[in-house]
Amino acid sequence: MKQKFKKQLQTLVIKKKSKILLAVSGGVDSMVLFDLLCNLNIEFEVAHCNFSLRHKESDEDQFFIENICKENNIKLHLKKINTKQYARKNKMSIQMAARKIRYEWFRKLTKQYDIDFIFTAHHADDSIETFFINLIRGSGVKGLKGIQLASNDLIRPLINFSKSDLYDYANKNKVEFREDSSNLNDYYVRNKIRNKMIPLLESINPGFKFSILKTIQNINTIENIYSQFIAEKKKSLLKKKDGEYQINISVLLNELHPKQLLYEIISDFGFSDIDAVFGALNSDSGREFFSLQFYMVKDRENLIISKNLFQDSQLITETTKTISQPYKISFKSLKLSDKKISKQNYNQLYLDYSKLTFPLLLRPWVDGDRFIPLGMKNFKKISDYFIDKKFSLIQKKKALLLISNGDIICIINERIDDRYKLVENSKKVYIVST
Please indicate, yes or no, if residue 233 is contained in any of the structural domains: no
CA distance 163 to 167: 6
144 and 175 share one domain: yes
The whole domain housing 391 covers 314-433
Q: Is there a contact between 57 and 181 (Cβ–Cβ < 8 Å)?
A: yes
Q: How many CA atoms lie within 13 A of 352 on its CB side?
A: 14
Please indicate, yes or no, if residue 389 is contained in any of the structural domains: yes
**Per-residue confidence of the chain (434 residues) as pLDDT tens digits?**
888 888 888 888 777 678 999 999 999 999 999 999 999 988 999 999 999 988 899 999 999 999 999 999 999 999 999 999 988 988 888 888 999 999 999 999 999 999 999 999 999 999 999 999 989 888 778 788 889 998 889 999 999 999 999 999 999 999 999 988 777 777 778 889 999 999 999 999 999 999 999 999 999 999 899 989 999 999 999 999 877 899 999 999 999 999 999 999 999 998 988 999 999 999 888 888 988 788 899 988 999 998 877 677 889 999 999 998 777 899 999 988 745 565 566 688 999 999 999 999 999 998 899 999 999 999 999 999 999 999 988 888 889 999 999 999 999 999 999 999 999 889 999 999 98
Query: Edge-to-edge, what's the strand order for the sheet holding 117-119?
Result: 76-80, 44-50, 20-23, 117-119, 154-155, 150-151
Burial of 191 (0-12, 13-18, 19+ CB in 10 A): middle
The CATH number of residue 48's host domain is 3.40.50.620
303 and 319 share one domain: no
Q: How many CA atoms lie within 13 A of 382 on its CB side?
A: 25
96 and 143 share one domain: yes
Please indicate, yes or no, if residue 16 is contained in any of the structural domains: yes
58 closest CA partner among 36, 33, 79: 79
Please indicate, yes or no, if residue 296 is contained in any of the structural domains: yes
- pLDDT given at position 346: 63
Last residue of a domain, one of 165, 198, 216: 216
The CATH number of residue 362's host domain is 3.50.40.10
CA 212 vs CA 70, 149, 217, 253, 343: distances in Å:
40, 16, 9, 36, 68
CA distance 206 to 365: 67
Please indicate, yes or no, if residue 226 is contained in any of the structural domains: no
| pTM attached to this predicted model | 0.64
Last residue of a domain, one of 273, 291, 307: 307
127 and 252 share one domain: no
Please indicate, yes or no, if residue 87 is contained in any of the structural domains: yes
Largest Cα–Cα distance of the chain, in whole Å? 93
Supply the DSSP symbol for 195.
Answer: I
10 and 152 share one domain: yes
In angstroms and rounded to an integer, the radius of gyration of the C-alpha atoms of the chain is 30
Please indicate, yes or no, if residue 225 is contained in any of the structural domains: no
